Amino acid sequence: MSPSARDILVLGAGMVGVCVAWHLRRRGHRVTLVDRGAPGRETSFGNAGIIQREAVRPYRFPRDLPTLLRVLPNREIDIRYRPSGMAGAMGPLFHYWRHSAPQNYAHIVPAYAALITRSVETHDEMIRAADAGALIRQDGYLKVFRTGRALDSECHQAEQNAAGYGVTYQVLDHAALARKEPHLSEGRLAGAVHWTQPWTVTDPGALVAAYAEDFERRGGHFQRGTLETLSRTGQGWRAQVDGETLSAERVVLALGPWSTPWLARQGLQVPLFVKRGYHMHYGARDDAKLNHWLMDAETGYLLAPMRAGIRLTTGAELARQEAPPNLQQLDAAEAAARRLFPLGERLDPHPWMGARPCTPDMKPVIGPAPGLPGLWLAFGHGHQGFTLGPVTGKLIGQMMDGENTDVDMAPYRADRF
C-alpha cells in the first residue's frame, strides 16, 4: 500500500461510481463503494448498451421552429414532457436552451468530445481487467433513416466529426442496409449510417457488475445500504449507512440524479434536471434476427439484440424524477418498431424506467466540490454515463493524486455554474 493511500468513500454504484472506485483502488487507495442496491441496477442497467465513441456532440435543446412545433403536441416518440416536470426544471431547461445556441454550443463540443474520444480505450482497459470480453461486440451500430434529406444531413455532420474528432463510419444505401439487416420489414428506408467505432454490450448491468467484482478482487469493499446522512468531520467526512458510521478522508458523490439533493445539504447548488427513459425486451417472430444495434433516427427509439431479448429503449421524457411512469411513449415506440422489425411478445413483466442526470451545459460535473474540502463530484453525464464512466474514474484518480490530467478539467468544474 502506498504511503499516500487514503480512505475514500464512493457513494453510488452505477457505471460512473464503480469506475471511480475501480481506478482509485488500482491506485492503492482504501476504497469503500456504497449503494442501496447491487452495482449497476439503476440507470446503468437500463440503457441502450452502447459505448458511443461517435457521440462527440451532446444532445442539444431544439431551437428551430419546425421541431418545436412538432414536439409541442406531446405525441412524439423521441421526446415527451409533463408540464409539472417542465415547470419544476424551468431554470435549468432555460439555460439548456441558451447553451444550445450555435455560438455557445460550439464552445461546448470540444470539451465534450475530449471525454467521448477516450471512451473505448478506457473501457477496454477495464473490460480486459474484469475478463468481461464475452459481453462485448465491436461491430458498431446502425442509425437508420427514412428520408434521404435526413440521411444527407447526418452524413454532412459525420464528415465534420470525422475531420475534427476521428470518427469513422460507412454510409449504407437501402440495398446495403437490407443486406446487413434482411429482416427489416419497412420498405421506405433511405439507408443508414453505420458507426463503426462504438462497442455494444449485450448486458449493460452485467458489465457494471463485472467491473465491481474486479474492484473487490483488487481489495476494494462494497457495502450495500441506504445513505442516511453525510457530514464533515474535522479533516474528513462521515456517512451514516443503514445505521452504521463510515468515516473517510475523502468522499466521491456519484449518485447520478440523486447527487444534487445530497450536495444541497452541504450548501452547494448545482443545477440538474432529469430525462427519463423506458425499456422493454421482446422476442422475434418468424425466426427473424436483428444483427446490429439499430436506432430509428427520425422516429426516436432504439432496438438492441441483448441477452435478455431485443431491448427497445425510448427517447427522453422530461418529467419529475419521482413522477409515476407514463407508458404511452413506450407503447408508441413499440408500435413503430413493430412496423420496422417483426418483434414478438413482451418478455418482461413490467417496463423498466430510469432517469438520466443532465446539466444545462451538457457537460458532466467532475472534480472537487468548491468550498467543501475532501468532497469530490462525478455526476451529470446525461445520456452518456455508461459511455463515460471509465474515463471519469481515470480523471478523478489523476486529480486526487495530483497528477497532470489527460484533458483540461476546467470545463467540468462545479463552480462553472
For 233-285, give the DSSP string.
ETTEEEEEETTEEEEESEEEE--GGGHHHHHHTTT-----EEEEEEEEEEEES
In the predicted model, what is the mean pLDDT of residues 6-20? 97
| Cα–Cα distance, 79 to 84 (Å, whole number) | 15
Among residues 131, 404, 92, the alpha carbon closest in space to that of 271 is found at 92
Question: Do 221 and 126 fall within a single domain?
Answer: yes
Asked if the structure places residue 93 within a domain, the reply is: no
Give the other-Cβ count within 10 Å of 408's Cβ.
10
Give the other-Cβ count within 10 Å of 131's Cβ.
10
Question: Do 263 and 231 fall within a single domain?
Answer: yes
Under 8 Å between Cβ of 10 and 237: no
Question: Do 44 and 114 fall within a single domain?
Answer: yes
Q: What local confidence, expressed as pLDDT, does residue 88 receive?
A: 87
Final residue before a domain boundary, out of 312, 335, 358: 358
- Average pLDDT over the chain reads 96
Residue 1 reports pLDDT greater than 90: no
Question: Do 167 and 242 fall within a single domain?
Answer: no
Q: What local confidence, expressed as pLDDT, does residue 234 receive?
A: 87
Work out the percent of the chain whose per-residue pLDDT is above 90.
91
In the predicted model, what is the mean pLDDT of residues 74-78? 91
Asked if the structure places residue 118 within a domain, the reply is: yes
| Cα–Cα distance, 333 to 279 (Å, whole number) | 10
In the predicted model, what is the mean pLDDT of residues 26-30? 98
Question: Do 6 and 155 fall within a single domain?
Answer: no
Question: Do 113 and 127 fall within a single domain?
Answer: yes
In the predicted model, what is the mean pLDDT of residues 11-26? 98
Question: Do 305 and 329 fall within a single domain?
Answer: yes
Asked if the structure places residue 37 within a domain, the reply is: yes
Q: How confident is the model at residue 85 (pLDDT cuts 50, 70, 90)?
A: confident
Largest CA distance in the chain: 67
**What angle, 0 to 180 degrees and rounded to 10, lies between the N-to-C axes of helices 90-99 and 102-116?**
90
**Is residue 326 classed as helix, strand or coil in its secondary structure?**
coil
Question: Do 194 and 299 fall within a single domain?
Answer: yes
The domain tally of the chain equals 2
pTM beyond 0.95, yes or no? yes
Residue 4 reports pLDDT greater than 90: no
Under 8 Å between Cβ of 272 and 380: yes
**pLDDT tens digits for range 39-73:** 988 877 889 999 999 999 999 998 888 888 898 89
Final residue before a domain boundary, out of 322, 338, 358: 358
> Residue 404 maps to which CATH number?
3.50.50.60
What's the domain range around 213? Answer: 1-56+100-132+200-272+360-417
Residue 3 reports pLDDT greater than 60: no
Asked if the structure places residue 95 within a domain, the reply is: no
> Residue 64 maps to which CATH number?
3.30.9.10
Residue 190 reports pLDDT greater than 80: yes
Residue 232 reports pLDDT greater than 50: yes
